[in-house]
Chains A and B, each alone.
Chain A
Amino acid sequence: MFHTEEESIVTMINHIAQNNVSAGTESEVADMVENHITKFWSRRMKKILAEQLAKGTEEFEPAALVAAQRLSAKVSA
């Protein structure tokens, strides 16, 4: 159980990556995570994700990190 909204956002992206770990290579899993978040997450959730990423990458699963970086680039673009 997580406690803050920021924690929950990181937990959620990691959770998506973990549940799709068999989707293929790390890059393919990252594709899946990126597509999922693009399609289902609100603007606000994506913004918090980008903010969390800016604070540090250690809490992110590898594929989730790749996806977060790509999504973050889109938010700031």
Chain B
Amino acid sequence: MLQHFDPKKDYGTPASLSEKMVTLEIDGVEVTVPEGTSVMRAAAMYDINIPKLCASDNLEAFGSCRICAVQIEGRRGTPASCTTPVDAGMKVSTQTDKLAKLRRNIMELYISDHPLDCLTCPANGDCELQDMAGAVGLREVRYGFEGNNHLHAEKDKSNPYFTFDASKCIVCSRCVRACSEVQGTFALTIDGRGFDSKVAAGQDEQFLDSECVSCGACVQACPTATLMENSVIDMGQPEHSVTTTCAYCGVGCSFNAEMKGDKLVRMVPAKNGDANHGHSCVKGRFAFGYATHKDRIKAPMIRDSIDQPWKEVSWEEAIGFAAKRLKDIQAQYGRESIGGITSSRCTNEETYLVQKLIRAAFGNNNTDTCARVCHSPTGYGLKQTLGESAGTQTFDSVMFSDCILVIGANPTDAHPVFGSLMRRRLREGASLIVADPREIDLLSTPHLGDSTHLPLRPGTNVAMVNALAHVVVTEGYEDKEFIASRCDTKAYAKWREFIIDERHAPENVEEITGVKAEKVREAARKFATAKNASIYYGLGVTEHSQGSTTVMGIANLALATGNIGREGVGVNPLRGQNNVQGSCDMGSFPHELPGYQHVSDAVARARFEKVWGVELDDEPGLRIPNMFDAALSGEFRAMYVQGEDIAQSDPNTQHVEAALAALDCLIVQDIFLNETAKFAHVLLPGSTFLEKNGTFTNAERRINRVRKVMAPIAGKEDWEVTVDLANALGYPMSYSHPSEIMDEIASLTPSFANVSYAKLEEQGSLQWPCNDEFPMGSPIMHTESFPIGEEGKAKFAVTEFVPTTERANSRFPLLLTTGRILSQYNVGAQTRRTENQAWHDEDILELHPHDAEERGIKTGDWLGITSRAGQTVLRARVSERMQPGVVYTTFHHPGSGANVITTNNSDWATNCPEYKVTAVQVEKVSQPSEWQKNFQDNHERQNEFLRGSASAHSAVK
């Protein structure tokens, strides 16, 4: 059976999922394929390739170009093979004189209205129209090129990344269908009829002005040069390609980096990518220009104090300088006076090495990672209830879900490729429940069926989740069989007694959440009665003072309804950064060694001590906020920060800045002079994901290879820098390739025991746990038991709602919540240095018309936003997406100072900051805040220090 998957081959129509097989004959060859397969696909599976133009195997068959016509014995005419399903005993001919003539005639008509500039066309070498003209043997165009045509249609160059050249369009609708079926935005359409038919964006607008989200699906689908990447127009066709993993969000899309030598021409989503199946978003597809941006740090730099210009030095000098300072500080202030932060943007191998450096060479557990400020409650909450600090499903699992509950997440902006998959399932009929203060875009999914929005007040997630569970239990929707067989009886009994209490009834929490009780009851019934119900959540759950409680409440809800352990269900944290899951897995937290093995576990510690050759501390170290506090008290004096911009991303900026300024030695390893680096004494050039080998682990626990396509800009991959620093500190590290680091990880981490680069090459990707028990990995977890307790039973947790102390009052009457936007990524260091700025070049404060009117505010006004922590100034946008009393902003631009106003309130269990609830007042102002003025001054000064180093260096040369 020739059904092996060839990622490069396009089979014309999607695969049929039928298990019933059908046998037929194509060109005399007997073929057997699943029922429902198209004739085109059946032929392609046996390498009988029928010409096609409007067909692509990621789109439903359309049958418009007619090039794929075939003849079928006993049937009249020449049916399109893409829209004709196979029948048992069918006899198909794909190459006859009649078909050859028909195809030539069709192609002749196409070409009569197509520019004949093939040699200078950007698609030259990658044009399906050209290929098909060759395949059908077109030799002349009898109609000539006079008369009405589209040859002089104007180009739309509004999108910064691609050009729409209507003169080359054959109106095959592939772009329109890709926008609808793959991306789910429905921004494109065919306007007009017959000869006047044309592709139109939005209401026949420029692409940039339309609803187009620039995901690139249309560009990829186009068989001609009509939709073409500007980089290909500029550079020509790539000559080789390397498959790697995107370094933006936690979806972890696979891309083919298409290259010319060491120059990246374009990133094309890989069809065989297990997380994205050939789809992409504007960031991964197009926003890679930062890798070669002029702001990249290209050489190591040092300085004695942060008031001095940088001095460019050799790697040896910089590493020696850093090591001496660290040793001197430890000699004077003690072993625990230094620490470090691993990066959720770097690879697993790099993260593993940084925490190893801290534990083994620094001799303490003062290691933490940015997951502290995003998903640490997920780690805690899921470990307590389900026994493993990770989501339970694959992304694909959503396609089996009948009811999707989204809490505090905005997948179409923050996890766009998964958002598109979710939208596809919603179009197929799954119902949607969104619990979020804002009306997120998912709620306006085209062709969405049954949906419910629970617009709860910020800070009331626990009350809402408890109310949903209360309805499930008191109205008799529990899955008693699942609970009896899979859950700990004692913990369940305790929880049940807690949750049936009337104080959790929707009618009694209505005052707290602001959501009508009947709406909550309806949502709970819908969730509980669906065959498969799944929960997806994001930082709107975790970044609260009760973040961990909500995570446990979510697990309770899934357990009570038996929605764990199979396709279409589960608890799914949508991880923020590309390797947040991996950085947690790799032991970045101060209390856990790799694989979530607690530092006090003597047996686990002994295994690490044996391999690492040192004695390890058995007490948890400092978490990020503790490091800041200890720095301000003078007990914590030095920090090694790899690929993380704590000065911009952590809350209460002024507190963070004071702490960083208090350090004697701050070593920052990054690709740019980020906000944290402005407080650094050693600046080590980082390498982008394009410049190194390694692995990332995405939100579905999928370990994917990152492959180097160009040399590191300053000569070293990030892991090599950590190795050098360890050696300079006198702790020997010796690896020649990240695969050796992964081998060490696998030897010490039970859930990674069978992971190796060889196996990743063989399988494409692996989802942990991947060990002797699950040799090929675990797409869905907890199918039979939970890794918790001796009996493997899940534990319900009692989830008391304790309101945050951050409350609105007469002085601060509004609640601010923060979030992300599609075109920018996290602190924006990467995306701000790309053309993505076209969509979002400043952070804006959104507020409800009622709140705006009360204050005389109009869209575009400058607003001072004041909280208990500080003040900043942003421009206003009046928006009905907000509910009255709630305002919203993003934090992608450092000068916005969004985190100047967020407070140091945090989750009770993990210290994850409460970014999502800050009481504020908003008023019209005419000038930037004091912090913003100081920020601008320091920004200019620090950039001058950097430029000084570069000019000094070039003067020496």
Q: Which A positions have Cβ atoms within 8 angstroms of B?
A: 1-2, 5, 8, 12, 15-16, 18-24, 36, 38-45
Check if A5 sits within 8 Å of B908, measured CB to CB: no
Chain B contacts for A22, CB-based, 8 A = 498, 798, 800
Q: Does B71 make an interface contact (CB < 8 A)? A: no
Q: Does B132 make an interface contact (CB < 8 A)? A: no
Check if B802 sits within 8 Å of A42, measured CB to CB: no
Known: A1-B868, A18-B802. A42 touches B619 (CB 8 A): yes
Q: Does B588 make an interface contact (CB < 8 A)? A: no
Check if B798 sits within 8 Å of A23, measured CB to CB: yes
* Extra pairs beyond A23-B798, A40-B591, A43-B619 (19, CB < 8 Å): A1-B904, A2-B904, A5-B629, A12-B911, A15-B908, A18-B800, A18-B908, A19-B802, A20-B798, A20-B800, A38-B600, A40-B909, A42-B620, A42-B622, A42-B626, A43-B620, A44-B622, A44-B626, A44-B635
State the Cβ distance, B365 to closest chain A Cβ, in Å.
8
**Contact string, B528-560, partner A, CB cutoff 8 A, digits 1/0?**
000000000000000001100100000000000
Check if A44 sits within 8 Å of B336, measured CB to CB: yes
State the Cβ distance, B236 to closest chain A Cβ, in Å.
56
A18 to B600, CA, bound (A): 26
State the Cβ distance, A77 to closest chain B Cβ, in Å.
14
Within 8 A of A (CB), among B360-393: 365-366
A41 to B619, CA, bound (A): 8
Closest to A19 in B: B908
Check if A42 sits within 8 Å of B621, measured CB to CB: yes
A38 to B599, CA, bound (A): 11
A68 to B157, CA, bound (A): 66
Check if B800 sits within 8 Å of A21, measured CB to CB: yes
Check if B800 sits within 8 Å of A42, measured CB to CB: no
Question: Which listed residue, A1, A19, A24, A43, touches B549 by the CB 8 Å rule?
Answer: A19
Chain B contacts for A38, CB-based, 8 A = 600
Tell me whether chain B's interface is mostly helix, strand or loop, or mixed.
loop
Chain A contacts for B832, CB-based, 8 A = none
13 sample A-B contacts, Cβ–Cβ < 8 Å, listed by A number? A1-B905, A2-B904, A8-B629, A12-B908, A21-B802, A22-B800, A36-B909, A38-B600, A39-B598, A39-B600, A40-B591, A42-B365, A42-B620
Q: Does B903 make an interface contact (CB < 8 A)? A: yes
Known: A16-B908, A42-B623. A1 touches B869 (CB 8 A): yes
**Contact string, B335-373, partner A, CB cutoff 8 A, digits 1/0?**
010000000000000000000000000000110000000
Chain B contacts for A2, CB-based, 8 A = 904
Q: Does B633 make an interface contact (CB < 8 A)? A: yes
Closest to A5 in B: B629
Chain A contacts for B365, CB-based, 8 A = 42
Q: Does B895 make an interface contact (CB < 8 A)? A: no
A20 to B87, CA, bound (A): 63
Q: Does B459 make an interface contact (CB < 8 A)? A: no
Q: Does B630 make an interface contact (CB < 8 A)? A: yes
Known: A42-B622, A44-B635. A15 touches B591 (CB 8 A): no
A22 to B869, CA, bound (A): 32
Chain B contacts for A24, CB-based, 8 A = 494
Question: Which listed residue, B545, B623, B626, touches A15 by the CB 8 Å rule?
Answer: B545
State the Cβ distance, B262 to closest chain A Cβ, in Å.
45
Chain B contacts for A41, CB-based, 8 A = 620
Chain A contacts for B633, CB-based, 8 A = 5
Closest to B803 in A: A18
State the Cβ distance, A56 to closest chain B Cβ, in Å.
20
A50 to B633, CA, bound (A): 17
Question: Which listed residue, B498, B620, B905, touches A40 by the CB 8 Å rule?
Answer: B620
Known: A5-B629, A5-B633, A19-B546. A42 touches B903 (CB 8 A): no
Q: For A1, A8, A21, which residue has the most chain B Cβ atoms within 10 angstroms?
A: A1
Chain A contacts for B908, CB-based, 8 A = 12, 15-16, 18-19
Q: Does B510 make an interface contact (CB < 8 A)? A: no
Chain B contacts for A45, CB-based, 8 A = 626
State the Cβ distance, B703 to closest chain A Cβ, in Å.
27
State the Cβ distance, A41 to closest chain B Cβ, in Å.
6
Closest to A3 in B: B904
State the Cβ distance, A7 to closest chain B Cβ, in Å.
10
Q: Does B713 make an interface contact (CB < 8 A)? A: no
Chain B contacts for A19, CB-based, 8 A = 546, 549, 800, 802, 908-909
Chain A contacts for B591, CB-based, 8 A = 39-40
State the Cβ distance, A35 to closest chain B Cβ, in Å.
11
